[in-house]
Amino acid sequence: MWEEVEAALEKIRPALQADGGDVELVDVTEDGVVRVRLVGVCSSCPMAMMTLKNGIERVLKEEIPEIRAVEAV
C-alpha cells in the first residue's frame, strides 16, 4: 500500500509546493492509518490541520478506499 499512498501524494504535492510546503510519508499501518509529516511552511501554518483533513486525507481516501485515517506526526 506504501507505493499507492506515495503515488496519491504525488498528485497533492504540487499544490502544497506552490505555497512553499510539502508532505512526507512517514508510515502506513496495517490497519489503514497513514502517518505524514508536513514540512516547509505547512509545518507552521495555522491551516495545516484543515489541509491535512480536507485535502490530503480526502484525496487519499478517494484514491485508496482502504485508508482509514491520515495523521500528522
Q: Which domains does the chain have, with CATH numbers?
A: 2-72 (3.30.300.130)
pLDDT tens sequence across 36-48: 999 998 888 888 8
Q: Where are the alpha helices (DSSP H) in 19-57?
A: 48-50
pLDDT tens sequence across 16-67: 999 899 999 999 999 999 999 999 988 888 888 888 888 899 999 999 999 9
Amino acid occupying residue 8: A
For a pLDDT cut of 90, what percent of the chain falls above it? Answer: 70
Which pTM does this prediction carry? 0.89
Cell (9 digits) for 40: 516547509
List the helix and strand counts (H, then E) for the chain: 3, 3
